[in-house]
Structure 1
Amino acid sequence: MDVQLTEGGWVLPARRCLSPFFNSRPTGAEISLLVIHNISLPPGQFGTGDVRRLFTGTLDCDACPEYADLRGLHVSAHLLIDREGALTQFVPFSLRAWHAGKSCFEGRPNCNDFSVGIELEGTDTLAYTDAQYQALSAVARALLRRYPRLSPERMVGHSDIAPGRKTDPGPAFDWQRFRAELRETA
């Protein structure tokens, strides 16, 4: 997959679906962290469109009993990679998406300030698809080319920046495979 980043922080060839849940990064904040998440709505179901609705503030929280806790929740990620490897971007990388919540990396709190958040459609325990690893690696390589403070060592799971609070991307995520694919040339 060939991935390019525009000057405005958009991914080509991602579908754009702007979330209202973002704001400006603090002055001087440079992207230096990639946070990998997983999500499925309803839990364990894919392709429902409800992740998009959650990130755009249009999710009907009465549609599913599992959504009761999502009522009034304002969250977003920069990018979603679905099970087929298709990319949907909700927030340009130049802006702060609301994906990490209470978080800390190497003693620095508020990871949303300096990170990119990528959601993989999936669960902690179900294997991610080949297409997802390929797309994630292609995007990560493009991010490495664009943001000099980012490195492979600064690509982590949500569980790494919010231990005890978050578990994603979970044990099903193959970090060794991701790092190997990351090293491959684009």
Structure 2
Amino acid sequence: MSVSIQDGWLTSARHCPSPNYNDRPPGEAISLLVVHNISLPPGQFGTGCVEDFFCNQLDINRDPYFEQIRDLRVSAHMFITRDGELVQFVPLDRRAWHAGASEFDGRTECNDFSIGIELEGCDDLPYTEPQYRRLAEVTRLLLSCYPALTPERITGHSDIAPGRKTDPGPAFDWRHFRSQLSERL
């Protein structure tokens, strides 16, 4: 599948615009990629609830867990489902609300300068090969479009919010992802 960017949107992604974003600070370069995981309800896949959550349309009566997150307003730039489908919520040039309180390389407020990609998953279940392929494909495009983003500036949510976040978790195979990434660089 050919991936390109038009007006901040990946042309090959299914677009599901979220209201949960704002402008990046003026002149801020995209220089960080943050890998996350999410499943709603926790540990359940293919429910459609992640999209509803990022679009503030989550039916809190659907699962008791949803009461805990009912007032959260969050988003990510992209979401990769278990079968590798790419869904985009926020244009890349805008600030998605994915990192929260965070720090990378001495800088706080990582949302200001990062792109957030959520993988449908949880910390302790293996990710799928279609997810790794899609993540590598999208990452290669991002690396080619944003000069300040380098392979060394790809990290997990747990690394920018230690003690607060654990994703993408020990089940994410960084070596496998980086080998797929480097195959075509």
Match of 1:72 in 2: 71
Match of 1:89 in 2: 88
**Counterpart AA for 1:2:** S
Where 2:167 maps in the other structure, the secondary structure is coil
**Distance across 2 between alignment mates of 1:177 and 1:134:** 10
How far did residue 176 of structure 1 move?
0.3
Match of 2:126 in 1: 127
TM-score (normalizing by structure 2)? 0.98
How far did residue 27 of structure 1 move?
0.6
Deviations 1:29-86 (A, max 9, x none): 1100000000000111111000000000000122211111111110000000000000
Matches within 5 A, 1:35-74: 35-74=34-73
**Distance across 2 between alignment mates of 1:47 and 1:103:** 29
How many residue pairs are counted as aligned between the two chains? 185
**Distance across 1 between alignment mates of 2:70 and 2:41:** 14
Gaps of at least 5 residues in structure 2 are none
Matches within 5 A, 1:96-111: 96-111=95-110
Match of 1:14 in 2: 13
Query: In the alignment, does 2:140 pair up with 1:145?
Result: no
Where 1:65 maps in the other structure, the secondary structure is coil
How far did residue 12 of structure 1 move?
2.0
**Distance across 1 between alignment mates of 2:68 and 2:103:** 24
Match of 2:4 in 1: 4
Q: Do the aligned partners of 1:2 and 1:138 also contact (CA within 8 Å) in 2?
A: no
Structure 1 outlier segments of 4+, above 2 Å: none
Deviations 1:127-176 (A, max 9, x none): 00000000000000000000000001100000000000000000000000
TM-score (normalizing by structure 1)? 0.98
Identity across the alignment (%): 60
How far did residue 4 of structure 1 move?
1.4
**Distance across 2 between alignment mates of 1:165 and 1:3:** 33
